[in-house]
Amino acid sequence: MASQGSKRNEIEKLDREYTLGTWTRQRDFDPTQVVDTDGPRLVTADGSSILDFSSQYVCTSLGYDAERVSDAVADQVRTVPYVTPAWSTEPRARLSEMLAEITPGSLKKTFYSTSGTEANEVAIKMARAYTGKHRILSRYRSYHGATAASLSASGDPRRVAQGPDVQPQVPGMVKGPDPYAYGSSLDPDQSLEYIDEMLKLEGDTVAAVLVEPLVGSNGVLTPPDDYLPRLREIAHDHGALLICDEVMTGFGRTGEWFASGLYDTVPDIITMAKGITGSYQPLAATTVTEEVAEFFEDNLLNQGHTFAGHPTACAAGVAAIETYREENLLENAREMGEYLKSELESLAERHPSVGERRGVGLHQGLELTRSETERVPFERREDKVSSRRTVLDEVSAHTLDQGVYFYTSVNTIVVTPPLTITRDHVDEALGVLDEALERSDAAMDG
């Protein structure tokens, strides 16, 4: 679908010449112009219609025709488009109240920023200030953002791609194992025991354990039901906070407002972005329990952003939550999630190159394998930052040519459509994926 060289239109040429692309060598940057949207579909400049079955980067959870959100943004721009965060606006106050209502347990007060990266930076700083400790324990198959501390906390291959001379690692970041029985020598119970031992051996130095309740871009890793509550207990036993990064899993993606709620766990700090506005505006939030918030009544919250609590973005957030509620999108995510899960499992039975299906609700993934008898990935972790064209690239290129977009990452096809989808959308997308997986089947060993 992407244009090449002389085939680029005027806008694509301008974009290619004057814009630096993200997470890529610039010779590989070749953006396709999107000119319109329709429900869960994108329309490109050449007239092609693409069914978006990954919600872009797992963020356009409302699809592309959430009129309530669009209208709220337009109205706010015409009234109070911006004031400093030291002043108050109705959208920020209303959104903060809403977040206190929908987040689990005693989570109450919110600090706003503009991206999940910043939300995690804030969480790390708050945890360190609150506990008086420095270390942050995260996991090897994780992604928490692109700035210094959040990338250092990530286990994603992008953390090491530039090397310490280009981007020094922020001190105090410690990595532990994931609940990933399919691709690890440890089962989930053993991974918890390992983290418990790590916290013991680190001494009383760990401020927080930072995790994605369900890992997103590093493989859609789904823990056992008792994993997150046990992890919270382990963290607290060692005087550490639990930070849940719900940038991808928040706002109905799993069929609950937040995945931590799905597992009956109240983190001390929860971070969110993406679905908070359905990506109609850039907005992120770091929400803390009343106990953590109380600490900062008399201690400096040493954090600020020009656009913290931007009124237009907060107006989008209020309207987005109203849309999730009034259109019963969490219920739809549960119903469509069950249907999507069953159809993906049927797909996996038909294709030997599908090693495992994972996920909850509309947060699903298929991990591919070269071998039917053991896990032999097509894509290595380092391929996430290489220029090598992989079998997964071939599979996703085929689906895109046939009008369906799937995001792929670390040997996994990420299946995370908007929460507005119907059975017809699932049937259409998986029909195309069914054909595309013939390419990975043919590339298997032996």
Q: Compute CA distances 436 → 91, 352, 353, 390, whole Å.
A: 45, 13, 11, 14
Tell me the one-letter amino acid at 366. Answer: L
Q: At what angle do helices 67-79 and 311-326 cross, to 10 degrees?
A: 150
> What is the set of domains in the chain, with CATH numbers?
33-65+329-442 (3.90.1150.10), 67-326 (3.40.640.10)
DSSP state of 168: P
**Largest alpha-carbon pair distance within the chain?**
66
Phi–psi pair at 175, nearest 5 degrees: -110, 140
With beta carbons less than 8 A apart as the criterion, state whether 74 and 63 touch: no
With beta carbons less than 8 A apart as the criterion, state whether 138 and 210 touch: yes
- Residue 342 belongs to what H/E stretch? helix 329-350
Place of tokens 């823990």: 223
pLDDT, one tens digit for every residue, the chain (446 residues): 544 556 899 999 999 999 999 888 899 899 999 999 999 999 999 999 999 999 999 999 999 999 999 999 999 999 999 999 999 999 999 999 999 999 999 999 999 999 999 999 999 999 999 999 999 999 999 999 999 899 999 988 777 665 665 556 889 999 999 998 777 788 999 999 999 999 999 999 999 999 999 999 888 999 999 999 999 999 999 999 999 999 999 999 999 999 999 999 999 999 999 999 999 999 999 999 999 999 999 999 999 999 999 999 999 999 999 999 999 999 999 999 999 999 999 999 999 999 999 999 999 999 999 998 888 888 776 666 666 788 999 999 999 999 999 999 888 999 999 999 999 999 999 999 999 999 999 999 87
With beta carbons less than 8 A apart as the criterion, state whether 332 and 419 touch: yes
Token couple for 111 = 């600090």
- Residue 231 belongs to what H/E stretch? helix 227-237
Instruction: Indicate the SS3 state at residue 285.
Output: strand
Token couple for 302 = 């040493």
Q: What distance in Å separates the CA atoms of residue 196 and residue 1, rounded to the nearest whole number?
A: 48
Report the predicted TM-score, pTM, of the whole model to 2 decimal places.
0.94
